[in-house]
């Protein structure tokens, strides 16, 4: 959806698709206001008739009409409230979906600076406030402003002295409100920010529960929680106190209005320019004038909070990914060639994580990537997936620069299995197909059987519909890796990047994994971040990274045959089956 960058542009973009409902709402509001203004006139006529000692059926008819219109007015209010809630939720649901989609497309450097908890608070908290904005603002503020204008017109129609003085009173009141309108935005913005930080903190700590317990950091974590909640309390207290200023203002204003009306009515009545019924009408309309004023003030709080929410949502929509989609190119079927041409990269400007990396893989070639922890192996995989762009140099896949590809298309042609396999609290089917319902069940089962998971699969109570517990609970690390392999089988990419599990697995799973890797790599180019000797033996070429630079690169056979190579030394010092 097209989203304008101004607040009104943003709101209009989401209201336009519901324009009919918006117009209907407008009609209902105008109708309701019309009745509200007309009803006291009936009351005026009733009093006038009583004053004239008129006992005709007119009195009864007027009373019945008054009651009937009052009921109709209530029905209209209910319908308008329902419709505005509906419009609000439709608009904000669409906005929530667009914002989530936008956030998912932003590059990793953005996500590095914003915790998931903070983003949840924005997508959920801020946008829920916006839903309130639509329902509260439209019904309570917009409609009440219209009612206010209507009442002022009635005052002018009754008597111009009354019109001038009460319009002056209302304008003065509005001016005060207008001057006060910004005072609560900032404290509420601070409150939302502090809340987002608290959620971010909680999310991070819950993720690290195991580490917190094992390192005895429980008390420290709780202390930090107190600091966060205290900050939140202080921010909430400040915001609420400041919000009370515009709230208490109408009480004073109401008293002033009544004083003006009493003095004027008494004066006009004593001059014989006003009947008792009209004096009564003025008081009735003045009460009515106070109602929208009160409602506007009461809703100002929600309105201010929503304004802060809109500002934050707009900021988020304005955030652009530093990675631009290329024009796109066609990837050939089958294994894809890969080339790194003098690639350098750093997560921060002042620290280079990779320096002058060059290598070339023929279609179907397997590269064993070795290096100590922190040497830059995972970073190479991230650059290939275009989670980041190199600072200098080029990366080519299927002979084209990665920057020329459409990012979604590129990622379809690369399969990656990391050590930390993400499984969702969803069915086995959805976990394997990534919610792609075009893949039929037979293909999914084939992939599962192909990887030697038949036994595991047949023990599932509901087959492909079995829902996996959160975070892949109940699955061993080896099984999770095998499921990740199945995902790749189903997508059939031309390049596979495999970050081999460094933890030791039991011999049966180890054997299953070995066979599965064998099948996975068949007919594909592969980069394996290897931790095992047996995997290395499968590689055609070897690249050893050290502090982000190439320490050694060449054919495995040649490096093995060369007794002076670093690779040979590494093989000799690697204890048991596991490489450093
Ligand atoms: N998102 C990030 N932001 C900033 N620095 C990072 C980020 N990810 C990694 N680094 C740094 O980049 C360097 C290379 O990290 P990388 O993860 O590529 O190493 P690795 O060889 O894959 O390590 P391991 O074997 O432990 O996974 C490290 O110094 C690391 O601290």
Please tell me whether residues 55 and 93 are part of one structural domain. Answer: yes
- pTM tops 0.90, yes or no: no
Which of 28-32, 125-129, 180-184 has the highest average model confidence (pLDDT)?
28-32
- The alpha carbon of 97 is separated from its chain's Cα centroid by a whole number of angstroms, namely 7
In this structure, are 277 and 411 located in the same domain? no
Q: What are phi and psi of 329, to 5 degrees?
A: -150, 165
The answer to the question of residue 578 being in a domain is no
Q: Of 115, 352, 375, which is best to mutate to test ligand 1, by the most ligand atoms within 8 angstroms of its C-beta? A: 375
**Domain assignment present for 196:** no
Report the DSSP beta bridge partners of residue 529.
369, 499
The rounded distance, in Å, linking the Cα atoms of 504 and 502 is 6
**pLDDT tens digit string along 515-553?**
888 888 889 999 999 776 777 888 999 999 999 999 999
Average the pLDDT over 16-45 and give the result. Answer: 86
Structure confidence at residue 1 as a pLDDT band (50, 70, 90): very low
* pLDDT over 70 percentage in the chain: 92
Three-class secondary structure of residue 556 per DSSP: helix
Helical (H) or strand (E) element with 59? helix 57-105
- Of 338, 337, 344, 325, the C-alpha closest to 393 is 344
State residue 2's pLDDT score: 42
578 — pLDDT class (breaks 50, 70, 90) = very low
**Atom 17 of ligand 1 has which residue's CA nearest to it?**
378
Q: What does 370-384 look like in DSSP terms, one character per residue?
A: EE-TTSSHHHHHHHH
Report the candidate in 401, 418, 414 with the shortest Cα–Cα distance to residue 502: 418
Instruction: Give me the pLDDT at residue 384, please.
Output: 93
**Residue 505 pLDDT level (bands cut at 50, 70, 90):** low
* pLDDT tens digit sequence for 334-353: 899 999 999 999 988 888 89
Q: Which of 272, 289, 318 is the last residue of a domain?
A: 318
Q: Quick count: other Cβ atoms within 10 Å of Cβ 408?
A: 10
pLDDT of residue 459: 86
**Could you read off the pLDDT of 247-274 as tens digits, one per residue?**
777 677 777 888 888 888 888 888 888 8
Q: Which domain holds residue 114?
A: 7-178+260-318
Q: Kindly state whether residues 351 and 423 are assigned to the same domain.
A: yes
* Cα distance between residue 372 and residue 392, in whole Å: 24
**Displacement of CA 514 from its chain's centroid (Å):** 40
Q: Give the Å distance between the CA of 564 and the centre of ligand 1.
A: 29
Helices of type H across 413-532: 428-433, 441-450, 454-458, 477-491, 507-521
Are 343 and 536 in contact by the 8 Å Cβ rule? The answer is no
The pLDDT of residue 250: 67
**What sign for the dihedral angle of Cα 126, 129, 135, 136?**
negative
In a domain, 532, yes or no: yes
Percent of the chain with pLDDT over 90: 20
Q: pLDDT for 415-433, tens place per residue?
A: 988 877 888 888 888 888 8
Does residue 198 belong to any structural domain of this protein? no
3-class SS of residue 26 = helix
Pocket test for ligand 1, best of 111, 346, 352, 378 (most atoms within 8 A of CB): 378
Task: Please choose from 347, 388, 502 the residue to mutate so as to test ligand 1's pocket, defined by most ligand atoms within 8 A of CB.
Answer: 347
- Residue whose entry in the numeric block shows the structure tokens 């509906």: 86
Write the secondary structure of 229-265 as one string of H (helix), E (strand) and C (coil).
HHHHHHHHHHHHHHHHHHHHHHHHHHHHHHHHHHHHH
Statement: residue 141 has pLDDT above 80: no
Distance separating alpha carbons of residues 444 and 433, to the nearest angstrom: 8
**Residue that has been written with the tokens 């005026």 in this structure:** 44
Q: Could you identify the atom of ligand 1 that is nearest to the CA of residue 502? A: 25
* Pairing of the two strands 366-371 and 541-546: parallel
Q: What residues form DSSP beta bridges with 544?
A: 370, 552
Quick check: 573 and 564 in contact, CB under 8 A? no
Greater pLDDT, 313 or 241: 241
351 shares a domain with 313: no
**305 and 388 assigned to the same domain:** no
Domain assignment of residue 325, yes or no: no
> Per the structure block, which two tokens stand in for 498?
């495999």
Q: What is the Cα–Cα distance from 429 to 227, expressed in whole angstroms?
A: 43
**Domain match, 383 and 491 both:** yes
**pLDDT confidence of residue 577:** 45
pLDDT at 79: 92
Give helix 57-105 / helix 19-51 axis angle, nearest 10°. Answer: 160
CB 496 within 8 A of CB 412: no
Domain-located, residue 96: yes
User: What 3-state DSSP class applies to 388?
Assistant: coil
pLDDT averaged over every residue in the chain: 83
CATH code (residue 98): 1.20.1560.10
Q: Both 305 and 427 in a single domain? A: no
Helices (H) then strands (E): counts for the chain = 22, 10
Averaged pLDDT, 409-413? 89
Residue nearest to atom 13 of ligand 1 (CA): 374
User: What distances in angstroms separate CA 323 from CA 106, 182, 319, 392, 403, one per listed residue?
Assistant: 8, 37, 12, 15, 9
Closest among 288, 291, 300, 286 to 256, alpha carbons compared: 286
Question: Same domain for 167 and 90?
Answer: yes
Could you give phi then psi for residue 542, rounded to 5 degrees? -130, 140
- Give pLDDT tens digits for 172-223: 877 777 677 678 788 988 999 999 999 999 988 888 888 888 878 888 889 9
User: What is the arrangement of strands in the sheet containing 338-345, beginning at the earlier edge strand?
Assistant: 354-361, 338-345, 392-397, 400-401
Q: Which of 138-142, 188-192, 206-210, 368-372 has the lowest mean pLDDT?
A: 138-142
C-beta of 246 in contact with ligand 1 (< 6 A)? no
pLDDT of residue 190: 92
Residues 268, 350: Cα–Cα separation, whole Å: 81
Residue 536 lies in a domain: yes
CA dihedral 278, 283, 289, 290 (to 10 degrees): 180
Same domain, 399 and 493: yes
| pLDDT for position 397 | 92
Q: Decide: 379 in ligand 1 pocket, CB within 6 A.
A: yes
Instruction: Tell me which residue has its CA closest to atom 5 in ligand 1.
Output: 347
Contact 192, 286 (CB under 8 A): no
* Contact of 380 with 426, CB cutoff 8 Å: no
Give the distance from CA 509 to its chain's centroid: 39
CA atoms of 390 and 548, how far apart (whole Å): 13
Is residue 355 in contact with ligand 1, taking CB distance under 6 Å? Answer: no
| Ligand 1 atom nearest 380 alpha carbon | 18
Q: Which two tokens stand for residue 509?
A: 């799973």
Query: CB under 8 Å to 108, separation ≥6 — which residues?
Result: 382, 387, 388
Q: Tell me: do 290 and 406 sit in the same domain.
A: no
Structure confidence at residue 301 (pLDDT): 66
* Number of domain units in the chain: 2
Cα–ligand 1 centroid distance for 343 (angstroms): 16
User: Ligand 1 center to residue 376 CA distance, Å?
Assistant: 6
The string of pLDDT tens digits covering residues 433-484 is 888 788 888 888 988 888 888 888 888 888 888 888 876 667 777 788 888 8
Atom of ligand 1 nearest to the CA of 376: 18
| Sign (positive or negative) of CA dihedral 421, 427, 431, 434 | negative
In a domain, 220, yes or no: no
Q: Helix (H, G, I), strand (E, B), or coil: what is residue 364?
A: coil
Q: Report the CATH number that the domain containing residue 442 is assigned in CATH.
A: 3.40.50.300
Residue pointed to by tokens 């106190």: 241
Residues contacting residue 516 through CB under 8 Å, at least 6 positions apart: 451, 452, 482, 485
Report the C-alpha gap between 155 and 544 in whole angstroms: 87
Ligand 1 atom with the smallest distance to the CA of 108 is: 1
415 and 530 belong to one structural domain? yes
575 pLDDT tier (thresholds 50, 70, 90): low
Residue 469 gets which letter from DSSP?
P
Phi, psi of 526 (to 5 degrees): -145, 145
H or E segment to which residue 175 belongs: helix 160-180
pLDDT recorded at residue 3: 44
Comparing 70 with 358, which gets the higher pLDDT? 358
* pLDDT beyond 80 at 383: yes
| Alpha carbon 516 to chain centroid, angstroms | 38
Residues 302 and 345 in one domain: no
Token output for 150: 């209507």
């Amino acid at each position: 959806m097209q989203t304008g960058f101004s607040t009104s542009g943003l709101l209009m973009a989401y209201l336009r698709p519901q324009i009919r409902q918006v117009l209907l709402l407008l009609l209902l509001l105008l109708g309701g206001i019309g009745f509200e203004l007309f009803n006291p006139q009936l009351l005026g006529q009733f009093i006038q008739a009583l004053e004239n000692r008129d006992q005709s059926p007119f009195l009864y008819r007027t009373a019945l009409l008054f009651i009937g219109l009052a009921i109709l007015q209530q029905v209209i209010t209910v319908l308008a409230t329902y419709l505005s809630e509906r419009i609000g939720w439709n608009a904000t649901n669409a906005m929530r979906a667009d914002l989530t989609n936008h956030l998912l497309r932003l590059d990793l450097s953005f996500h590095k600076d914003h915790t998931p908890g903070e983003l949840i608070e924005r997508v959920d908290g801020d946008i829920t406030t916006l839903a309130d904005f639509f329902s509260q603002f439209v019904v309570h503020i917009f409609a009440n402003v219209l009612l206010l204008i209507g009442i002022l017109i009635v005052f002018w129609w009754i008597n111009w002295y009354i019109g001038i003085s009460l319009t002056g009173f209302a304008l003065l009141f509005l001016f005060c409100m207008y001057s006060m309108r910004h005072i609560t935005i900032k404290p509420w913005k601070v409150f939302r920010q502090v809340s987002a930080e608290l959620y971010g903190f909680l999310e991070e700590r819950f993720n690290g529960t195991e580490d917190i317990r094992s390192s005895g950091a429980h008390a420290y974590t709780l202390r930090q929680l107190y600091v966060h909640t205290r900050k939140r309390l202080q921010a909430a207290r400040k915001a609420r106190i400041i919000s009370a200023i515009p709230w208490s203002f109408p009480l004073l204003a109401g008293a002033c209005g009544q004083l003006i009306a009493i003095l004027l009515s008494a004066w006009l009545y004593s001059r014989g320019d006003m009947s008792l019924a009209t004096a009564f009408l003025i008081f009735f309309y003045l009460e009515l004038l106070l109602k929208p004023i009160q409602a506007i003030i009461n809703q100002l709080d929600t309105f201010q909070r929503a304004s802060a929410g809109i500002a934050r949502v707009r900021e988020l929509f304005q955030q652009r990914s530093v990675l631009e989609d290329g024009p796109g190119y066609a990837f050939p079927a089958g294994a894809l060639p890969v080339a790194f041409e003098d690639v350098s990269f750093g997560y921060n400007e002042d620290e280079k994580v990779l320096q002058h990396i060059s290598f070339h893989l023929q279609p179907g070639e397997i590269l064993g990537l070795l290096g100590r922890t922190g040497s830059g192996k995972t970073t190479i995989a991230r650059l290939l997936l275009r989670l980041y762009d190199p600072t200098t140099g080029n990366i080519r896949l299927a002979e084209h620069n990665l920057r020329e590809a459409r990012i979604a298309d590129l990622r379809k042609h690369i399969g990656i299995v990391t050590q930390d396999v993400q499984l969702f609290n969803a069915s086995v089917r959805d976990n394997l197909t990534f919610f792609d319902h075009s893949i039929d069940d037979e293909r999914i089962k084939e992939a599962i059987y192909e990887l030697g998971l038949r036994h595991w699969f047949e023990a599932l109570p509901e087959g492909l519909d079995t829902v996996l517990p959160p975070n892949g609970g109940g699955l061993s690390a080896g099984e999770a890796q095998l499921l990740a392999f199945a995902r790749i089988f189903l997508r059939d990419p031309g390049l596979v990047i495999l970050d081999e599990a460094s933890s030791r697995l039991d011999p049966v799973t180890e054997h299953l994994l070995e066979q599965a890797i064998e099948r996975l790599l068949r007919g594909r180019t592969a980069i394996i971040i290897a931790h095992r000797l047996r995997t290395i033996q499968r590689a055609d070429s070897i690249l050893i990274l050290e502090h982000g630079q190439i320490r050694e690169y060449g054919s495995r056979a040649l490096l093995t045959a060369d007794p002076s190579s670093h690779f040979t030394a590494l093989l000799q010092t690697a204890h048991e089956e596991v490489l450093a």
